[in-house]
Structure 1
Amino acid sequence: MSDWINKLDRKGAGKAPVLLVPFLLLCALLLPAAVLHANPGGASVVRGQVAFTRPDAATFNITNSPGAIINWQQFSIAPGETTRFIQQGAGSAVLNRVTGQDPSRILGSLQSNGRVFLINPNGVIFGQNAVVNTAGLIASTLDIANRDFINGRLHFSDLENTADILNRGFISASGNGEVVFVAPKVRNEGVIQVEQGSIVLAAGQSVSLSSLNYRNIEFEVQAPDNSVVNLGKMLSDGGSIGVFAGSIHNSGVVSANAVSVDNAGNIVFVAQNDTVIEDGTVTASSKTGRGGTIHILGERVGLFGKTVVDASGDSGGGEVLVGGDYQGANPAVNNAKQTVVSAQSRINVDATGSGNGGRAVVWADGSTDYRGEISARGGSLGGDGGFVEVSGKQGLAFDGFIDTSAINGRVGSILLDPDNILIQTAPGANDGNVGGTAPNIGFGDNAGTDYVIGVAVLEALVGDITLQAEVDITLQAGATLNLSNQGSGDTVTFQAGNNILIAGDISLAGGNLLLSAADPGAAAISASGGITVDGQISTNDGDLALNTNGSAGDIVINNTIDAGVGTIDLLATNGDVRLDNGTTLNNQGTLNLNAQNLLLENASELVNNGQLNIIEDINIDSTTGDGSMTLSSGVLSIAAGKVARLNNQLTWQSGIINGGGTFLVAGTAGINLVTVADHIVDGLTTIDNQGTVNMSTGTLMLNNASVFDNNGRFVFLGTANMLIDTQTALNPGIFNNRQLLESLTTGTASIGAGLTYTHSAATVDIASGSTLAFGAPLVLDAGSVLQGSGELIGDVDNTAGTVRPGGESATGTLSITGNYNQQPAGRLEIDIAGTTDYDKLVVSSTATLAGDLTVSEINGYEASISTDYDFITASIINGAFSGKNIFPVGFERAAVPTAGIYRITDRANNTIFFDNYSGNLEWNTASNWSTGQLPLAGYDVDASSVTAGTMLISSGDYDINSLRAATSMENSGGRLRVAGDVSVPDNFSYTQTDDSAFTQFDGGFNTGSSQGVRINNNRGELQLNGNTVADVDNQSALYATGSITGNVSSSGLLSAGSGAGETGLLTVNGNLTLTESSVITMDIAGREAGTGYDSIVVNGSLQQAGDLNVLVNESSGYIAAIGDSFDVFRFNASSGSIAINPESGYVYNAELLPDRLRLVATAIPGQFLRDTQNDVVTFLDMMHRYLRFESIDDILRRLENSRDEETDKTLICS
C-alpha cells in the first residue's frame, strides 16, 4: 500500500501507476478487414418470429418479435456494413447469442429501435469507426439464461470465461435507454453516450442487475484483474453511470451533467479492490439545477494527477463521496481502507448561482492522505456554504485546501479529527491543519497524534466550528477564546471521545456552543468521559449544551456560565452535574437538566429566572451543606412521572413549578417561600414535602389538579398575611396535610375556599398570637390533631381526631371563630397545671359535644377535690361527652350557673370510670375505661354507669383500691383484688366461673346492706377479708375473715383464714350450710381463736356435712400439747355430721357443746392419753360421729379405752 502512496507527487505532477491489463485478446481482434466476417451469419431462431432481409449488399435487416432469441454462428459487422434490428418499439428486446468460436467485431454500424442483447463468450470489440445507435445495448461475454431474458432478469454468469469487452467506437442509446457492458474485463477508449439513461460497466464473473440503480447491482469478482478501465468518455445527460469491478481505473471523462433544465444525474464507482481516477474527469453538474451524486468507492481509492470531480449546480451543490460516507457510518456505502487525493485533484460541490453548497466526504477506515482541494461554496447570489469531511479513522495526512465560504450566506462546516486537541493562546503547530475559511478538526483522522491550535486561528473563522478529538479537548488555562464571528445561527462544537476541559474563557457573539464528551462519533468511546469548566463561558444569548452522552462522567462547573436568554443543556445522564467553588449559575432562558445528582457545593448556587426543565429523576443536594437553589422567577418543570428529590434548601421567590412530575422535599431539606408574589404549582405536578416548607409571605397557588402533599412540616412564619388557594376554580389544586401544618405568623394565614384541602392523620398547630383561616370546614379524621394557643377562623368538624388547646402537655387557650362539632369518635384533651392554669377552648358559635374528654394533671399538679375548671366557652353548647376517656382520674361534669360554659370538678383523684357506651362489658378492654387504659394498681374503679348486663373479667391481674358497680359481674379467668370497699346495688351478683379465676375482697363488701346481693364462687378461689353483706354460695375455694351478713352455703373448700395456711375468724350473720362435698380447712398455729387457729362463728343455724381437715402449722412456733382445745364452730343451732380428719400423729376428742363444737387434743406425735373419751360426740339430732384412725391397732386401742356407756351412740370407722 505504501508503494501505491509513494508514487503520489506531492505537487500533483506525477501519476499513480495506471492499472492497465494486457488486452491480448482484444488486440488480436483488431485484424485487417480482409479477414473479418461480414454481417452476422449462421442464424438459428430459438424463440419468436424473426425475418431476415438484405435490401442491399451492405445492409442486413432483421425483423423480430419482442423477446425473440437468435443463436448465431458468428456476429460481426465489417466496416461500411450495417446490421439493423427492426422491432416493435423501444420496449422490445432481442437476444443474440453467439455459439461459434469467433469474437464479435463491431466495426461498422449496429442500429435498432429496440433493445439489443449481444452475448459472445469469445469477446466483443467495438472498433474505432464503429457506430452503435439503439434504444439499449447490453453486451456481455457472460451468458444469460433464456428464461432470465424472457422474464426480464439481467443475471449474467460464466465463472470460466475470461473474454473481454473493448470499446473504441461511438455507442449511443436514445431516449432513456441504457448501455450495459458485462465481462471479466471492460475497457472503454471510445464514447458511450445516453440521453438521460444509464451506463453500466460491470467487470466480474457473475453480475445481477435487478435494476440499474447501483445499490441493486450485485457482482462477483474472481480475480483482481476483473477490471474496468475508462480512457474514453461516458456521457449521460442527467442520467446515471455505474462502474463496478474488482478494480477501476479512469483517466477519461465520466459525465452525468444535466444539459437541460434539470438536476444532474448520479455516478457511482464501486470496486472491490482499487478505484483510481487519474487525470480523469467525473462530473455530475448542472447549469440550471442541483448538482448530482458521485460516489467513488473501493478498498483503495485514489484521485491522482489533475483529476476533477464536479457535482456543482446552479441551485445547489451535489454530493461527492470518496472512500465512504460521513464518519464511515453509512452501512449502504462501502468504506475504503485507504484513500488518496493528490495535490492537483479537485472536488467541487459548489452552488454556482443561488443555493447552498453541497456535501463532500473523503473517508477511509484506515488512513487518508489528502493534499487536494475541495470546494463547497454557497451560491454567489445567495446560499450557505456546504459540508466537508476529510477523515481517516486510523490516520490522516492533511495538506490540502477546503473552501466552504459563502459570499451571501453562512460559511459551511469542515470535519477533521486527531486524538487530542489543545487550544492555546500562542500559535499552534497545527494551525495549518485548520485551513480554509470554516475549518474544523474531526474524529479519527490522526490516531495517536495531538493537535495544538492557537486561539487566533479559531477566532478568525466565520460560521460553524466543529472540533473533534478521539480523546481529549482542552482550552488552556489563561487562554481567552473570543469567537466574535460566531453570531446567531452559528454553532461551535467540541466533540471528544473522552474528556473536555475548559480551563480558559470562551465567549460567543450570540452563537451556540456544544461541548460533547464521550461522544458516540469517536472510535473508542470513554465510559467515564466528562466535562470540566474552570473558565467563564458566555454565549450572549446563544445556546449552551454540555453533554456526557450517557457515560458515567460528570459535568463540573467551577466558574460562571451564562447563556443569557438562550438554552442551557446540562446532560450527564449517568453522572452528576456539580456546581462548585462558589459558582452561581443564573438561568435566564431555558435550562434542561438530566443527571443522577445536581450537587451544589461550597456555597454554589443555582438561580432560575427562566425555564428549568428536569428531564429524568434527579437528586438535588449539597454534600458540603452550604449550596443552595433559588427559584427567583420563571418555571421549574419536572417531566411527568419523574421525581426531583431536594436534599438541601430551596428559596422560592416566585414563579411556577409544573410539568406533571413530583418535587420531593426530603426529610432534611426545605423550601422557603419568600417575597410578596404568587408561588404557583400547575399541571398535575406534585410537591411531596417530607422536610420543612417555610412560607413567610405571598401566595401559594395550586392550579389545575396539582397536588401539595405535606408529609413533613409546613410553617407560616413572619408577620405578613399569606394565602394558599387556587386560580383554577373549575379544576382546583389539592393540599393534602398528612403531617404538620403550623402557624407561627403574627399575621393571618389562610387556606382558600376554592382549594381542595384534605387532612389525613395530620396536625394543625396554631401558636399563640397566630391566626389560621380555613375557607372550608377543617375535618379532623382519625389520627388528626388540632392544637395550639392561637385562633382558627372557620368551622371545625372533629369526626375522629384530637383537639388539644395549648398543645401536648402544655396549657393554653385555643380560639375557634366558628362552630366546633365533636362527633362520637372525636376527642378533646384538657391539661390542668393549676387552679387557673389549664386548657381552654373558646368557640364563638356553637360547640356540639360527643365522644371523648381526657383530663390530665401535668407538671406535678394534683387537683383539690371540688376545684372547678371551666374549659369550654361557647355561645351554645349542645350534647355531652359520651365516649371513653370521659372525666379520667376522678373528674366529673359540674353544674354551671350560666349557659355556654362546660365545667368539670375534681371528685376523687384516683377514680377510673368504666364506660359502656359501646355495649361492650369486657373489663379487660382498655377502650372501655375512662383513661383509655386498664385499671392500674391503687385505682378506685367506678363502674356504676353500667346498669344492665354482666361485666366480665376474662383475664388480667387487677389490684385496685375500691370498686363501685351497678350491675352483676363475672370473673371467668382474671385475678381481682380490692383493697377497699366494694359498693353494689340491690340484686347484684358476683360470680366466679373458671378454675383460674381469683377474687380477693379485703375491705367491706356491700356495706350499704343492699338486698338480693349474692356471691357465687362456682370455681376458682375467693377471699373475703372484710365485712361482707351478701349471700355467699361457694362451690370451689372460699377463704374468709371478718363477717358475712347473709347466708353462706359451701360445697367446696371453706377456710376462716385469709388464704391457705392463714388463720382467721369468720363471722356468718346468717346460716351456714355445708354440703356432703364441702371441706372445712382448720389451720392451727396457736391456741387463740382467730389468731391462733381458724374459727367460724355462725349467728344463725349451722348445717354440718362433709369433712373437717385439721392442719397444724408446726413452723409457726406453736408447740402442740395434749389437752389443747379448739372451738371450731360456734353457733346458735346445729345439725348434721362432719368427718374430722386430723394430721398423722394427732388425735382429737370431739366435744359437742350446746353452742359450739370443740376439739381437744388427746394424742400428739409421740404422746397418747389412753383415758380420754374422744370417739363419741352426742348431737342433739342424734347425728353420727366419725373419727379417723390410722391403723387397726389404733382402732383396737380406741375401743379398749372407751368408757362410753350410752347404747344409742355408735362408732363408725372409716
Structure 2
Amino acid sequence: MSARSAPLDWLQGLGIAIGSGFIAFYANISVAQITPDGTLPNNSNVKLEGNTRIIEGGTTRGDNLFHSFGEFSVPNGSTAFFNNALDIQNILTRVTGKLNSNIDGFIKSNGRANLFLINPNGIIFGKNASLKIGGSFVATTANAIGFGNLGFFSASNPEAPSPLLTVNPNALLFNQIAASPIQNSSIGLRVPDGKSLLLVGGNVNMDGGILNAYGGRVELGGLTSSGTVALQIDDNNFRLGFPAESTRSDVSLANNSGVHVEADGGSIAVNARNLEMTGRSFFQAGIGQGLGSASSQAGDITINATESINLRSGSQIGNLVQPQAVGKGGNINITTRSLSLINGARLDASTLSKADAGNVNIDAHDTVSFNGVSKDGITSGVFSLVNEGASGKGGDIKITTGSLSLTNGARLNNSTFGKGDAGNMNINARDLVLLDGFAREKISAIVSSAGTEEAQGNAGDINITTRTLSLTNGAQILDISTGKGNAGNVMIQARDAVSLNGSFKDQSSAIFTDVLSQGASGKGGDINITTASLSLQNGTQLVTTTAGIGNAGNVKINAHDNVFINGVGSNGLSSAIFSNVLMPEAKGNGGNIDISTRALLVTNGAVMSTSTRGKGDGGNIIVNANTLEAFNGGQLITYSTSNGKAGNITLNVTDQIIFSGSDPKYNSRLAQFSKDKFELPEPASGAFASTVENSTGQGGKITITTGQLNVQDSGKVTVNSAGSGNAGNVNIFARSIRLDNGIVSANTRSINTDPNQLQATITLQVKDLLLLGRGSNITTNAIGENVIGGDININTNILAAFENSDITANSDDFHGGNVRINTKGIFGIQFRDIASLNTNDITATGATRELSGNVQITTPDVDPTRGLVELPVNLVDASRQISNACTPGTRQFQNTFVATGRGGLPMSPTELLQDSSTVSAWVRLRPNAEKANTTPVPQPTAVSTTPIAATTPIVEASGWVIDRNGNIELVAQVPQLNPHSPWQTPASCPVSQGGVKYGKTSAAKASN
C-alpha cells in the first residue's frame, strides 16, 4: 500500500463507519416509534423481535389492562403485538406525547380482548394497516376514557389509573376546542365477526379505506367541541351516544371507501355534523350470501347528521338480504337537516332472497334532494325492492322533510319483482314535493309496482302530504301491476296546489295506477287528490287503467278552489284524466272519475274520459262544482268500443256550465295518432257518452243539474250509439239553457228490442228560459234500418228559437220519436212536417207520414180575454178627471188602466203630494214633409163641455184631489193642504189575473 493510499483507505473506512452509524440511528428511531412513557405503576415495555414490537407489562385493574406510551406508531412491514394475558377483557392504550399515531403495519393481541387506542393528537391508518385482535377495536382522539364515577384514564393528564377502574369503560371525554382527526386509507381494518370497530374523532376521513366488522358494528363520528360521548358495551358490540349540546365533527368517505358489516346481522352508525360520501363509497349491511336463518335479523344503518348528508358519484348506503340468504333485512334510518344524493347515489334496502326487505326512514328537517343518473345508468334515489327470484315483503319508504325534490331521472322505488308484496311509500313534505326532468332516457319518478309478469304480489300505496306537489318535464308517479297482484293507491294531500306540466318525448308528466299488461291479474289502484288547486297542462295526465284481469281504479279529486285541465303536449297527447279498460282482452270494469271543486275548466283539447275496450263496463264521470267550463275542444267523455257499457256522466253544477268552441289542433292530432289510440269522438267541446261502430255495449247517459247551461260555438252535449247497443239518455235540469250554435243530441243506430226501456231520450226541465240560436239543435235522430228516434221532453217557462234552430226527433228509415213541450210561451219556432233551412222547426219525421212521431205543445189553458173590459172611445179630460174604473162596487173595478203621460211615473198615491209642481209643454213630433198634406193629425175629443181656448196651453197634471162627491180630479196646481183633512186616505185598484193561450192573442182597445 502506498503512503498516499493509506489516508484514502482511512477516509473510506470512516465513511463506512459513519454510514453504518446513520443506519443504526434510523433503526433506533424506528424502534423508538412505540415508546413507553413511564407514567404507570407497572409500566409498559416494548421489545423488538425482527419487525415485531412485543408489548408487555402495563398495569392491570381487574379485567382491564392499561398501557401508556409517549409515542405509538407502526410503520409499514412492522407489527405491534400486545402480548396480554388471555383473561384480559379490555386493553386500554394511551399516547401522552405530542405526535399522532401513524399505523401502517399490523396490530395484534391475544385472546378475546377489546383494544382501545387513545391519541388526542390524531390517528392515521395507512394503506397497509391491518388488525388481528380477538375483540372489538376503538380508535379515538378523545382526551380520556371514563369509567363512570370511578374515574378516568387520560392521555392529556397522564395520571396512574385508579385501582377502581376495574369495570368496562362507559365514556369518551373530549375537552379540546377542536379534537384531532382520524384518517383511514386501509382496506384491512377488520375485527372478528360480530365485534365492533369504532373510529371516534374530531373529523373522521376515509380515502380508499374499508372497515370490516361482519355481523358486528361499525360506528363513525366525533366532536369538535368539548363533551362526553357515552359508551355502552355489551357482550358483542359497542354503542355510542352523542350529546345533543356539543358540536359534532364531520365524516367523509372518498374513492371507494366503505364499511362492511353484512353477515348474519350487522349494523352501522354515523354521528356527525356533515357526512360526505363520494367516488362510489359505500355502507353495506344486511345478511350475506348463503347466511342466516329464519330467526336472523340484519342490523340497521343509522345516520344522524346535524347539518347535511351528501352522497355523490355512485356512492351507496345499502342494507340488503343477499341471494340464498335467510332472515329479515335491516332498516336504513337517516336523521339530518338536509339530504342530497347525486349522480347515481342511492339508498337501498332490498331483498334478493327468501326474506323480507327492510325499511328506509328519512327525517330531514329542511330538504331531501335526489338528482341525476350516473354514466353507467345507475339512478339516484331510494329503493326497497323484492328482486327477481326473491320471496318476501318489500320494505316501506318513509320521508319526512321540509321539501323533497327528484330531478334529472332520480327515483323513489319500492316494488316487487318476485313473490311478495311491495312496501308502501309515505312522504310528508312540509312545503314542496317536486319531480322534474330526465337524464339518460330515464324520467324522474316515484314508483311502486308489481313489476314483471312473473311477479306475485301487490304493489304498495303511495301517500304524499305536502303544501305543493309539482310534476314537470315528463316526471311521473306510478303505482302499477304487471304481474299477479293489485296495483296500489296514490293518495295526495296538498294544501295549496297539485301541478303537472310538460313531457319528455312520448312521456307526459303523469300519475298512473294501472293493471298494465295482458298477463296481469289484479285490481287497479285509486288516485285520490285533496288540494286547493289541481292543474294538468301540456299533455299531462291522471290515469287508472286495466289491461289484464281486474278492475281499473277510481280517480277522486277534491279541490277547494279549482281544477284546470288544459292543452295538448308536444308529443300530441292531451292533458287528461283517464280511467280505462284498455285492451280488448281485458276483463274488468273501468273506474270512476269523481271531482268536487269550486271551478272545473277543461280547455284546448283536454279530456276527461272513462272507457272500455274489453270485457267490462266503463266507469262514470261525476262532477260537483260551482262552475264548469269546457273550451276549444275540452271534453268530458265516456265510451265503449266493446260489449261493455259506456259510463254515465253526472254534472251537479250550482251556477253555470259552458261548453264552447272546438279543438284547433284536432286534425293534426288525428294525423299523428290513430283514432283507436286517441279516441276523440270529434273536435267539439262538450259532454259525450257514446258507443263506437261494431260495439255491442250500451251507451251511457248524461245527467246535468245546473243554474245555467250554455252550449255555444259548436259545443255539444251528446249521447250516441254507433253500435248495436242502446244509446243513453240526456237529462238536464237548469234554471236556463242557452244554445248558441250548440247541440244537445241523443242519436242512435241501435234497434231497441225492449219497448219498456227508453233510449236516446232528451229530457229538459228548464225553470226560466230555453233559448236556441245560430243553427242550434236539440235532436234525437235515429240513423239506420228499423231504428226508432228518441223522445224529446221539454218543460220550460219560455221557449224561443232563432236563425234556423231546430228541435228534431227524426228517423231515416223507421218511426220518428215524440216531442212533448210544456211551456208558458213559445216564440220563433213551431211544428212542421218537414224542416226548412229558413225556419226554426219542430219535427218528428219518420220514413213515411204514418211513421212520423207525435209533437205535442202545451201552453197554460188560460183565455186572455177573460175579465177584460172594453175601454171607452173618448179619453177623459186630462185636466179634470180620470175614468171611474176605480169606483168601488162597479163592474170596472175588477181591472185597471194606467195612463202615465209623458212626464214619467206618478207619485205613489200613499205618499203626500209635493208642495211644488212640474209644468212642461207637450212634446210635438215634427211632421213628415212627404206626408204633411196627406196624413191628417187626429185631434183629441174633449170630454168636458167647457171649450178650451186655442191660446190656452195644455198643462200636465202634477197631482190629484178628491171633490165633495168623491170624484178624483187631476189638477195642475195642488191646493194648500190641511194636514188634518181626511182626503189623504188612498184609493186602490185591484189587478185582475189573466193569461195568454198559445195561438191566440187579445188586446185592450182604446182611442185617442
For the superposition of Structure 1 and Structure 2, which TM-score range results when normalised by the shorter chain? 0.3 to 0.5
Between 1 and 2, higher relative CO (CA 8 Å, sep ≥ 6) is seen in 2
**Greater Rg over alpha carbons, structure:** 1
TM-score, length basis structure 2 = 0.42
